[in-house]
Structure 1
């Protein structure tokens, strides 16, 4: 690996860490970069997942104030993210990547639509079922709590498998199914996505250590570590409507990019 190649991978890590913290889909920067430099798709995906953990940690820490009062909720959903991340990582190692990547644009598109129309769906649901049915995160009915847990688990499977725009999908689901402030949900998204990346990376290291390129993982880790700090500073200052617009734009770009390179 030459110096210029290493520098570009490092920069891609910074950008990915920033985007992941603000909304998600930073993988759509680092993954194509690694493919461009000739890394095999599975190796690129695995090494990228390992490297982006660092950015998830700094991004989550940057949102610590928005996460005040969310401890119980995070403890409830963390096991769903953990189990889903492991399942998704194992799927990557045993399934044909083309079989699952065909549905990736559909999933991202669903997330974008949920982010865009989530407030209207929430308002409609509240008016139809009553305020008690759409309480804050810690006060949901049993049915809605089960639906939320399943949504977190399903998104974690996707995140462990590929990871691109899992934040967009998760934010779309959470903004539709809860009434929490957008910035608080973004903090929750950062923590859950970091858990998914961490357990998926651990699964890769244990089950397929030969697929991890530690030079690449180290460069992306160093870059995303800085990107997580930058992303939390930028993201926390965005008004809710501006943050929602950023999520939608990045989600649409992600769909176009995936379809263009397929």
Structure 2
């Protein structure tokens, strides 16, 4: 029986998780810590958090959908990889000790945080042949004058526009990564999704690191965030199906967390789009490093 205090704790943790997961990632640490603090075991806690994150993931994905790349094939491929990986990870959680799965968490999160921070240096120049919605050819290469390169969305641009109406705005144009960078992106998403299907903590940071390294200048950081949120939602759907079919879901805490993440995901979509790219990048990396510290304590 869940008391009022326990319900409030789980609902609040869910709201915080929804906001953090949409903006940066690692929000799942809040309800996971709350569940463990209330006396739940690590496996039931991980299952409740994984399923409970689903409403927030959907709300965040809707809020960021206008930043998704128009390359449907890329998104379908990454979604398929996320589905397969998440189901494998969810199945592993039911048969493998949780400690064996979570041991790789700090390494993955630290590596991803570093990739997010060094992305501007790694991709200062667009890759040759990249079909890029943001990059334009130089005037000397075309012999004609070109329009200026569009700037990243700024705080001023979003301070009024990002409202409930803005969440339903039509998609903007973003670009796919160069083909040679896609080769390792799909395996990376598959592996990250397997981790997310079991111990979902900091999955957004891991996705963000892989996506920023692969997409580079072919997409803005908000586009990376949109893909990351979508893939996290896919992982929650796939893992939830496994846990529901196997009757492994502790429903009361899961529903409380889910209600919180639904509200938090919507709020996070508004807040995240107001952040300038450099601030968002710094927040991603800082949250990732803090998450890695949590796992090692």
The normalised TM-score by structure 2 is 0.81
Q: Structure 1 regions of 5+ residues with no counterpart?
A: none
1:85–1:156 CA contact under 8 A, matched in 2: yes
5+ long unaligned stretches in structure 2: 134-174
C-alpha change, 1:26 and 1:51, in structure 2 (3 Å) is same
Select which of 176, 184, 191 maps to 2:230: 191
**Equivalent position SS for 1:38:** coil
Please give the residue correspondences for 1:87-106 in structure 2 after superposition, counting only pairs within 5 Å.
87-106=88-107
* 1:155 corresponds to: 192
Which structure dedicates a bigger proportion of its chain to helix?
1
Q: CA deviation at 1:181?
A: 0.5
Give the root-mean-square deviation of aligned CA atoms: 1.6
Q: Deviations over 1:8-30 (max 9, x none)?
A: 10000000010000011111111
Aligned to 2:166: none
Give me the whole-angstrom Cα distance separating, in 2, the residues matched to 1:191 and 1:132: 27
Equivalences for residues 1-262 of structure 1 within 5 A: 1-67=2-68, 69-123=70-124, 130-132=127-129, 138=176, 140-141=178-179, 143-178=180-215, 179=217, 180-207=219-246, 209=247, 211-260=248-297
Deviations 1:81-134 (A, max 9, x none): 10010011111111121122222101100010100112212237x5xxx52268
For residues 181-208 of structure 1, what are the alpha-carbon distances to aligned partners after superposition, in whole Å with 9 as ceiling and x for unaligned?
000110111011100111011111112x
Q: How many residues align?
A: 253
Q: What is the Cα deviation at residue 161 of structure 1?
A: 1.3
Asked whether the 8 Å contact 2:177–2:214 carries over to 1, the reply is no
Distance 2:37 2:131 in 1: 46
Determine which structure has more spread, i.e. the larger CA radius of gyration. 2
Query: Deviation at 1:139?
Result: 5.3
SS at match of 2:261: helix
8 A contact 2:101–2:195 mirrored in 1: no
Q: CA deviation at 1:6?
A: 0.4
Query: 1:17 and 1:157 mapped to 2: Cα distance?
Result: 21
Kindly indicate whether the alpha-carbon contact (under 8 Å) linking 1:81 and 1:195 is maintained by their aligned counterparts in 2: yes
